[in-house]
């Protein structure tokens, strides 16, 4: 099975010229979902991973499954105002404005080893904010793992420039 074949491409979404890579079709196929999670965690088998952090929303699905496979805890990284307890916040730049990401202030302990997960890396702004947030809390980021990389947008290189390993199961050219 070629995992890339399980990704649906939606042209001109959310705006003209964008080729949206929809990972929900992969998630809906049991064998593809299982294989994707297995391939995301395989490089870290036998490595101490204390927590897996998932970026809202598809990163929750992948991160929860990865945490289960690695016998690790899970940290939800959410949009501002979605978590009920005391939080720490990191702002980041969007194409047209600024957004904020939060996590509970007690979600990670200093020195814990964390694997960051999300479905896709494009420009890297969200992943960069997640890494900054986790590091501010004292986490050691083992790697950032994604199903899809859009290399033309430079996000993976941006994360590597933060001294963070990046893994992606596949790459798509274009936006």
The number of beta carbons lying within 10 Å of the beta carbon of residue 51 is 22
- Of 8, 31, 48, 58, the active-site residue reads 58
For residue 91, list its beta bridge partners: 100
- Of 31, 35, 95, 136, the active-site residue reads 95
Q: What is the CA radius of gyration of the chain?
A: 15
Q: How confident is the model at residue 175 (pLDDT cuts 50, 70, 90)?
A: low
Q: What are phi and psi of 43, to 5 degrees?
A: -65, -15
128 is catalytic: no
For residue 54, list its beta bridge partners: 76, 117
Q: What are phi and psi of 140, to 5 degrees?
A: -100, 115
Question: pTM for the full model?
Answer: 0.95
Q: How far are the Cα atoms of 26, 63, 116, 136 from residue 140, in angstroms, in the given order?
A: 30, 17, 10, 10
Spatial contact of 129 and 101, defined as CB atoms under 8 Å apart: yes
Give the alpha-carbon dihedral of 138, 143, 148, 152, to 10 degrees.
90
Q: How confident is the model at residue 116 (pLDDT cuts 50, 70, 90)?
A: very high
Spatial contact of 26 and 2, defined as CB atoms under 8 Å apart: no
Alpha carbon 98 to its chain centroid, in Å, reads 19
Q: How confident is the model at residue 104 (pLDDT cuts 50, 70, 90)?
A: very high
Can you read off the two tokens belonging to residue 153? 């947008």
User: What's residue 167's pLDDT?
Assistant: 98
- Mean pLDDT score across all residues of the chain: 96
Q: Which whole number is the average pLDDT over 34-47?
A: 97
What is the bridge-based pairing of β-strands 97-104 and 73-79? antiparallel
58 is catalytic: yes
User: What's residue 93's pLDDT?
Assistant: 85
Residue-wise pLDDT tens digits, 9-20: 999 998 898 999
């Amino acid at each position: 099975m070629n995992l890339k074949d399980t990704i649906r491409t939606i042209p001109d979404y959310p705006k003209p010229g964008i080729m949206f890579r929809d990972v929900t079709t992969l998630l809906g196929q049991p064998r593809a979902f299982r294989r994707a999670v297995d391939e995301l965690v395989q490089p870290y088998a036998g490595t101490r991973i204390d927590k897996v952090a998932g970026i809202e929303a598809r990163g929750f699905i992948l991160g929860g499954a990865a945490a289960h496979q690695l016998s690790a805890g899970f940290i939800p990284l959410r949009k501002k105002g979605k978590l009920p307890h005391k939080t720490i916040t990191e702002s980041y730049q969007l194409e047209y404005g600024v957004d904020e990401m939060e996590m509970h202030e007690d979600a990670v302990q200093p020195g814990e080893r964390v694997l960051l997960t999300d479905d896709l890396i494009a420009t890297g702004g969200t992943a960069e904010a997640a890494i900054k947030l986790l590091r501010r809390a004292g986490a050691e980021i083992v790697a950032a793992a994604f199903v899809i990389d859009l290399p033309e947008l430079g996000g993976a290189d941006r994360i590597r420039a933060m001294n963070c390993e990046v893994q992606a199961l596949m790459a798509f050219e274009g936006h």
